[in-house]
Amino acid sequence: MSDLLKKAISLGWGLTIVSKEKVESLVDDLVKRGELAPSESKQLVERLIDKGAEEQNRFKELVNEQVKSVLQSMGLASAKEMEELARRVAELEIKLAELQQP
């Protein structure tokens, strides 16, 4: 495999932003230069696209974990916690209204 292809694979998350057309173009160039057999090109494109999708999912998970960590360190309430508080306030309002009735 060429150095260019190895670099593309090693970039990992970089593949997440590369379009399928760009990957196909890269692989076509490898075929034209004789660095890749035409019969292997379709499989390589599929592997690179799959690798890009995997890396994109991992990147999203990493970003989500980092955001959660930052929010927790700031002491901010989560949406779930806010919903629970709103539910509890609504219950207390109902009880208060019942107590105020003659």
3-state secondary structure of 102: coil
pLDDT single digits (tens) 2-40: 455 455 555 554 555 567 778 788 888 888 988 878 888
Closest to 15 measured CA to CA, from 57, 55, 44: 55
> Looking at residue 89, what is its pLDDT?
98
* Contact status, residue 30 vs residue 36, Cβ threshold 8 Å: yes
pLDDT digits 0-9 by tens, 44-85: 888 888 887 787 788 778 878 888 888 888 888 888 999 999
Return d(Cα 87, Cα 76) in angstroms, integer: 18
pLDDT number for residue 6: 53
- Per-residue pLDDT at 10: 54
Measured between alpha carbons, how far is residue 26 from residues 18, 20, 36, 87 in Å?
Answer: 11, 10, 11, 55
The encoded tokens of residue 16 equal: 């997440």
3-state secondary structure of 39: helix
